[in-house]
Structure 1
Amino acid sequence: MAAIQEKRIDQLLSFQILLSEQIKQAAGVASSFKLECRDVGKHADRLCAMLRSAVGFSRSSCSVYERPVHRIVTEVSKNLNRAQTLVLKCKRRSILRRVFTIVSVADFRKVISLLESSIGDMKWLLSVFDSDSYNGGINLALPPIASNDPILSWVWSFIASVHLGQLNVKIDSADELASLAQDNDRNKKIIVEEGGIPPLLKLLKENSSPEAQIAATTALFHLANHQERVRSIIIERGVPIIVTVLGDSPMRVQVCVANLVARMAEHDSLAQEDFSRENVIRPLVTLLSLDIFVDHYLKLQHRTGKQSIHSIVEINKEMEKNSLMSFKSRLGLSSSSFSSPSSSSLSMHNYSEGSSRGGNYRRERENEKPEMKLQLKISCAEALWRLSKSSVSNSRKITETKGLLCLAKLVEKEQGELQINCLMTVMEITAAAESNSDLRRAAFKTNSPAAKAVVEQLLRVVKESDNPSFQIPAIRSIGSLARTFPARETRLIGPLVEKLGHRNQDVAAEAAISLGKLACPENFLCVEHSKTIIEFYCVPPLMRLLRSTERTKIQALILLCYLALHAGNSEDLEQARVLTVLEGAERTVSAHHPELRELLTKAMYSLNVYHSGVLLPQRQYYA
C-alpha cells in the first residue's frame, strides 16, 4: 500500500489500464468457459475506459484529492489480478493440466461481482474528479468500497468538495466535516487519516470569504481536541497560517481563530511552543486591549482640557506615527519602548500596532457590535490562558507586551467569562514566575506598575467576590507571588486569613496554601510573615480546618507547622494547644502522609522549646 501511494496517480492508473487490456486479450483466446470469459472481458473493458478517463482528469487538474484514488485503485488492482488469474486458467492447454486446474461457474460469478464493485467505485471516483458535478452541491453517492462504512464515503465526498468545489460548496462541505467531527472521535480520526486537514487549512488561508474561513476554522476546532490530531495540524504547517489569519481578518473570523489557538494550546505543549515561535502573543494582547487604554487616553485628554480640533488632529498624528514605527520594526514591543509607566502611552502603542497589522479591517472593527468585541476579548483571553499554562516563555512574552496591565484593567472593569479567563491567565503567569526567578524579578518587581496593578485587582477579587471560581485563581496567584512581597506588605495577609473560614473548603484550602508559601522556610521573610499571619488571628480558623476534608486538613496542618517553626513563642499557639494538636497529628496523619513526619517533628520541637520552658534533647524529635 505504501509503495503504491508513492507513485503518481497517472502512473498508478496506467498500470491498471495495461492489466485490464491483458485480461481482454486473454478472455478472447480462452478455450473453455468462453461465455464466462467473454463476460469478464466486457467488465475489464469497461474498467479500462473508466481508468483512461481518470487519467485524463488527473492530468488536466492541478489539484487532485488522492486519498480515495489510492484506496479504490488498490482494490481495483486486486480484483483485476484475480480476474486475470481465472481467465488464464481457461487458455488452451494439455488434458492433464486441465484435469488438475479446477475452474467452476461459481468462480466466474464471484469475479464478475468483484469487477462490478470496482466499476461502481470507479464511477464514484470519476464523479469526484469531475469538478462540474460540484456546481449543484456535494456528491453523497455511496461507492461499494465504503458500503460497510458510509461515514468513509461521506468524508471522501466532503474533503473532495473542499478541494475542488466552488466557494459555496466548499463552505457547505467544511460545515459538514465540522458536524461529523463534532459527533464522535471516530469521525475525527477518519477525517484526519483521509487527509482532511490540508484542504481545510488551504480554505482558511485563501481568504476567499469570512464564511469560508469560519467554516474551515470550526472544522479544525472540532478536530483539535486530542494531542495526536493537534500534531497533524502542526505537521501540515497550520500554525503560521492560523497566526496570519488571526492578525488580519474580520472580527468574527478572529473569534473563531482565537478559539482554535486556545484549543490547540490546551491539548499539546508543542503547539504552545510553535505558537510562541510565530509570535501569536502579540496579536492576542493587541486584540484584548482594544478600546481599553484608548478610552483612558481620550479621557486623560478631556481632563486636561485638550479637546480642540487641533488636539484631535495631534492625537491622530501620534497614532499614525506609532503605527508606522510598529510596522517598520515588526519586532514587537521591547521593555525600552515603555520608558514611561503611563498606561495611556502603553495602550496607544498597542492600539497602533493592532491598527497596522489588521489595517484591512480596522474600520469594520470599529463599527462592530459591543457583543462581538466582548466575544473576541473572551476568546483572546482564553487563548492567552492556555498558551501561558506551564510555559515560562509564553508567560514572559505576555509580560513583555505589557499584557499584565491589560489583564489587570479587564479584571477590574469586566465580569463573567472574560474576567475569569483573565484571572486564569494571571494565575498561570504568576505560577510561571514562581518557578522561574528571572521572570519573577523582571515582571513582578516591587516598583513595577504592572505588578502593582495586578496585585491590587487580585486583592480586590479576594475581598469582594463571593464566587469560588474567581476567588481561587486570585488566591492562588497571590500565593505564587509570595516571594516578591516585602515584610511591610501586610495588607494581603488579612484577606487570606479571612478566607480560612470560608464556607467553601476549596477556597479555605487555597488560602492556607498561599499563607503557607509566605511562611515556608524557602521564603526569605518567613519569620516576619509568620508573625504577621498570627497577628491577624489565623489560629482559630486553622484549628477549625483540622476538622474539615482531608485536603483542607493537610494544608492547615502544614501552615500550623510553619507558624510553629518561625513563631513558636506566640501566645496564640500556646493558648490554642497547638503542641497537643501536632502530637495527635503525628500519630494519625503521618502514617498516611509520611512526607509530613519530619515537618511535624521540627514544629513540635520548636513549640517545646518555647512553651515547656525546658530544652529537650533534639535527638528525641529527630530520631
Structure 2
Amino acid sequence: MLRTMVRFATTTPFLYEPPIRHVVAEVSKNLERVLILVRKCKHQSFLRRVVNRVSSADFRKVLNILEASIGDMKWLINIFDADGDEGGKVVIQHSMPPIASNDPMLSWIWSDVATVQMGIVDDRCEAAKELASLAKDNDRNKKIIVEEGGVPPILKLFKESTLPEVQIEAATALYHLANNRERVRTIVNELAIPIIVQVLGDSSMGVQIQAASLVARMAEHDPVAQECFARENVIRPLVTLLSFETFVDDHTGQLSKQSIHSIVKINKEIEKNSLFKSNGTRPLANSYKHMEGISRVGHYSKKERENESPEIKLELKICCARALWMLATGSVSNSRKLTETKGLLCLAKIVEKDQGGLQFNCLMTIMEIAIAAESNADLRCAAFKTNSPAAKAVVDQLLRVIEELDNPSLQIPAIKSIGSLARTFPARETRVIGSLVTRLSHRNLDIAAEAAIALGKFACPENFLCMNHSKAIIEFKAIPQLMRLLRSNEHNQLHGIFLLCYLSLHAGNSESLEQARVLTALEGAERTVLAHHPKLRELATMAIYHLNLYHAGVQSQRIVYLP
C-alpha cells in the first residue's frame, strides 16, 4: 500500500498532501515501534532476554497498531482511488480511518478538501457545498478547514469553474470561513482578492451576489483586506452593479430637453457603458477612466442581466451596497475613491427611490463617507462642495429621511451624516439646523440625543461659523427643547450640556438663555452630573463664567436706566 501511494503521489499533479502526510507520519511512527519490539526479540543471550522481557501484551499492542496503520492506508488509497478504479480521480469517501478516531471531523474535512482539489466536477461542487455547511456549523470546523489547507482548493474552484452553481458553493464556503481577522488574513495571503474582484466583474448575477457578500465580510473583519480590495479597484465594479438601471429613468426623462447632438452623445455613452465588444473581451483599462463608475463589467450581456428576476437584481444591489459600506468604514482613501466615481449620486438616488435593506445599506455608506470627510479636509472640500450636484443630492435625501420617515434606524445615520458634514454648510444654510432642532423634542430619545450631538458640531469652536450657527440654533427655539432633554437619562443630559455650553460661549448675549435659566441649569449640572466628566466640567465652568459676566452686565444696565 505504501508503494501504491508513492506511485500515485509521484504521478499526480496538484496532489492534496495533508492527509497523506498525516497518515504516512503515523504509519512511520508505528513501524518504528514494531522495529523496537523485533530488536528486543532478536537478542540470543539469556541474560539480555531476562533484562528485556517481551510479554504477549506487547505483541497484542504491536498487532493493534499495525492493524490501525493498515486501516489508515486503506482509507487513504480509497479516498484517492489510487488503484485506478476511477481513472486516478478522488472519490467522496466519508468513512473514518483509525487515525481520526478521536476527531472524526478531521477525516470528513480531508475527504471534502481532497475532492474539491482533485475530484470530478459534480463531486467538487458537492464537496464545496459540504465544506460550506461544516464551516457554517462552528468555528472549530472553520479552523480545521483552514489548517488542513482547504482555502487554496476552494479558491481554485471559485476562479476556474465555468458553472455558476459551483462558483456559488465555493464562494459560500469562503464566506463562512471569513468570520475573523486571522482566517481572513489567511485567505488574503492566498492571493484571493484579485480572484474575487475578477469573478465579481466576469460572472452572472447569482455569483456576483456571493462575491459581493464575500467582499463585505472580508472588509468588515480585516483592515488589510479592506486596503487590498481598494488596490484592486473593487469599488468601481461594485458601484457599477449598484447603479445598474438606476439612471435609466434620468436619461429618458432628459431626452426631450437635449439637443440632437446631446441625445446622440447620451446614447453612445449608454451603449459604451452597457455592452462589450462583439468578441466578448473585457474593456481596455483606459476605457474605465471615462466611465465614472457606470462601466460595463463581465461578459454577460445587457439582455441577460435585464432578464434576471427583480428579486435577484435587488439582492445583488443590497450586497454591493453593504460591500461599499464595509469598504468605506474607517477608510478615508476608500471613501475618496467612492466619491470619485458616481457613487455619491447613485447612493442618493437609491435612498430616494428604494426602501428596506438597500436603502439602509446605502444610508450607512453615506454615513461612513461623511465620517471620513469630517476627519479629512481634502475629502470634505472635494466631495462636498457647495455647488456639487452629488453633494446637494445627498444632503437633500438626508434631510428628507430625517423629516419624512419615521424610522429610527434610518433617521439616526442620516442625522449623524449631517453632523459630520457640519463644517461644509455655509451660514445661510439654516434649513439643516431647523430640521435638527425639531428632532430635539422627538419622542425617541436616541434620535433626540443624536440631534444634540449633530448640533454640537455646528456650534463647537472647531467650526469656523460656530457663532453664526449658534445664533441660528437659538433662533429656531432650541433652548426650551434642550432644557427638556436635560431631564432625561444621563447619556442624553451630557450631550445636551455640551450643546448648551457651546451656545453660551458663542451666543451668550441671547435673552433666550436667560429666560430659560440656562445658568442655573449648568450650575446644578456642574455639582452633580459632571462630577465624573472633567473635560465637560471644564467646558461648563467656562460657559458659567461667560454667562455670569453677561448677566451681571445686564443687571447693572437695568439698574442704571430705571426711571
Question: Please, which of 181, 184, 193 is the counterpart of residue 135 of structure 2?
Answer: 181
Question: Please, which of 328, 339, 342 is the counterpart of residue 284 of structure 2?
Answer: 328
Alignment of 1:235-384 (within 5 A): 235-302=189-256, 316-321=267-272, 327-330=283-286, 332-333=288-289, 350-351=293-294, 353-354=295-296, 357-384=297-324
Equivalent residue, structure 2, for 1:18: none
**Deviation digits for residues 49-107 of structure 1 (CA, Å, limit 9, x no counterpart):** x1001011112210211111111111111100000000011114322222211111110
Q: Kindly tell me: are residues 331 and 580 of structure 1, through their superposed partners in 2, closer, same or farther at Cα, counting changes over 3 Å?
A: farther
Question: Please, which of 12, 15, 31 is the counterpart of residue 64 of structure 1?
Answer: 15
Alignment of 1:367-406 (within 5 A): 367-406=307-346
**Deviation digits for residues 306-329 of structure 1 (CA, Å, limit 9, x no counterpart):** 7xxx99987654444567899334
**Deviation digits for residues 393-443 of structure 1 (CA, Å, limit 9, x no counterpart):** 100000011200100111111111000000000000000000011111111
Q: In the aligned structure 2, how far is the partner of 1:245 from the partner of 1:487?
A: 48
Equivalent residue, structure 1, for 2:560: none
Q: In the aligned structure 1, how far is the partner of 2:69 from the partner of 2:184?
A: 35
Equivalent residue, structure 2, for 1:526: 466
Do the aligned partners of 1:445 and 1:451 also contact (CA within 8 Å) in 2?
yes
2:64 pairs with 1:113: yes
Equivalent residue, structure 2, for 1:225: 179
Q: In the aligned structure 2, how far is the partner of 1:266 from the partner of 1:186?
A: 21
Q: In the aligned structure 1, how far is the partner of 2:536 from the partner of 2:200?
A: 49
Do the aligned partners of 2:90 and 2:120 also contact (CA within 8 Å) in 1?
no
Do the aligned partners of 2:293 and 2:343 also contact (CA within 8 Å) in 1?
no
**Deviation digits for residues 567-618 of structure 1 (CA, Å, limit 9, x no counterpart):** 11111110110000000111112212112121001100111111122899xx
Q: In the aligned structure 2, how far is the partner of 1:251 from the partner of 1:315?
A: 26
Do the aligned partners of 1:58 and 1:129 also contact (CA within 8 Å) in 2?
no
Q: Which amino acid aligns with 1:190?
A: I
Q: Which amino acid aligns with 1:395?
A: S
Q: Which amino acid aligns with 2:383?
A: A
Q: In the aligned structure 1, how far is the partner of 2:346 from the partner of 2:516?
A: 45
Equivalent residue, structure 2, for 1:407: 347
Percent of residue pairs bearing the same amino acid type: 65
Q: Kindly tell me: are residues 311 and 570 of structure 1, through their superposed partners in 2, closer, same or farther at Cα, counting changes over 3 Å?
A: closer
Q: Which amino acid aligns with 1:421?
A: N
Question: Please, which of 597, 606, 609 is the counterpart of residue 549 of structure 2?
Answer: 609
Q: Which amino acid aligns with 2:186?
A: S
**Deviation digits for residues 237-288 of structure 1 (CA, Å, limit 9, x no counterpart):** 1111000000110001001110010011111111100101111001000101
Question: Please, which of 363, 371, 383 is the counterpart of residue 431 of structure 1?
Answer: 371
Do the aligned partners of 1:54 and 1:129 also contact (CA within 8 Å) in 2?
no
Q: Kindly tell me: are residues 432 and 579 of structure 1, through their superposed partners in 2, closer, same or farther at Cα, counting changes over 3 Å?
A: same
Do the aligned partners of 1:64 and 1:129 also contact (CA within 8 Å) in 2?
no
List runs of 5+ in structure 2 lacking aligned partners.
557-563
Equivalent residue, structure 1, for 2:158: 204
Question: Please, which of 147, 159, 162 is the counterpart of residue 193 of structure 1?
Answer: 147
Equivalent residue, structure 1, for 2:55: 104
Q: In the aligned structure 2, how far is the partner of 1:615 from the partner of 1:544?
A: 27
Alignment of 1:478-493 (within 5 A): 478-493=418-433
2:80 pairs with 1:124: no
**Deviation digits for residues 443-477 of structure 1 (CA, Å, limit 9, x no counterpart):** 11111111111101101100001000000000000
Q: Kindly tell me: are residues 577 and 316 of structure 1, through their superposed partners in 2, closer, same or farther at Cα, counting changes over 3 Å?
A: closer
Q: In the aligned structure 2, how far is the partner of 1:135 from the partner of 1:418?
A: 45
Q: In the aligned structure 2, how far is the partner of 1:361 from the partner of 1:472?
A: 40
Equivalent residue, structure 2, for 1:416: 356
What displacement does 1:138 show? 2.2
Do the aligned partners of 2:79 and 2:92 also contact (CA within 8 Å) in 1?
no
Q: In the aligned structure 2, how far is the partner of 1:361 from the partner of 1:130?
A: 42
What displacement does 1:494 show? 1.0
Do the aligned partners of 2:255 and 2:263 also contact (CA within 8 Å) in 1?
no
Q: Which amino acid aligns with 1:390?
A: G
TM-score scaled by length of structure 1:
0.85
Equivalent residue, structure 1, for 2:519: 579
Equivalent residue, structure 2, for 1:74: 25
TM-score scaled by length of structure 2:
0.93
Q: Kindly tell me: are residues 331 and 523 of structure 1, through their superposed partners in 2, closer, same or farther at Cα, counting changes over 3 Å?
A: farther
**Deviation digits for residues 27-66 of structure 1 (CA, Å, limit 9, x no counterpart):** xxxxxxxxxxxxxxxxxxxxxxx10010111122102111
Do the aligned partners of 1:246 and 1:254 also contact (CA within 8 Å) in 2?
yes
Equivalent residue, structure 1, for 2:42: 91
What displacement does 1:504 show? 1.3
Do the aligned partners of 1:248 and 1:361 also contact (CA within 8 Å) in 2?
no
Do the aligned partners of 2:89 and 2:118 also contact (CA within 8 Å) in 1?
no
Moved more, 365-374 or 123-132: 123-132
What displacement does 1:127 show? 1.4
Do the aligned partners of 2:155 and 2:192 also contact (CA within 8 Å) in 1?
yes
List runs of 5+ in structure 1 lacking aligned partners.
1-49, 338-347, 617-623
Do the aligned partners of 1:204 and 1:217 also contact (CA within 8 Å) in 2?
yes
Q: Which amino acid aligns with 1:328?
A: L
Q: Kindly tell me: are residues 515 and 311 of structure 1, through their superposed partners in 2, closer, same or farther at Cα, counting changes over 3 Å?
A: closer
What displacement does 1:294 show? 2.8
Q: Which amino acid aligns with 1:503?
A: R
Instruction: Report SS of the residue matched to 1:503.
Output: coil
What displacement does 1:551 show? 1.3
Equivalent residue, structure 1, for 2:96: 142
What displacement does 1:524 show? 0.4
**Deviation digits for residues 106-135 of structure 1 (CA, Å, limit 9, x no counterpart):** 101101101111111111111122275698
Q: Which amino acid aligns with 2:526?
A: E
Equivalent residue, structure 1, for 2:539: 599
Q: Kindly tell me: are residues 281 and 438 of structure 1, through their superposed partners in 2, closer, same or farther at Cα, counting changes over 3 Å?
A: same
Instruction: Report SS of the residue matched to 2:373.
Output: helix
**Deviation digits for residues 511-551 of structure 1 (CA, Å, limit 9, x no counterpart):** 00000000001100000000000000111111111111221
For the aligned residue pairs, the C-alpha RMSD in angstroms reads: 2.2
Do the aligned partners of 1:458 and 1:478 also contact (CA within 8 Å) in 2?
yes
Q: In the aligned structure 2, how far is the partner of 1:324 from the partner of 1:249?
A: 14
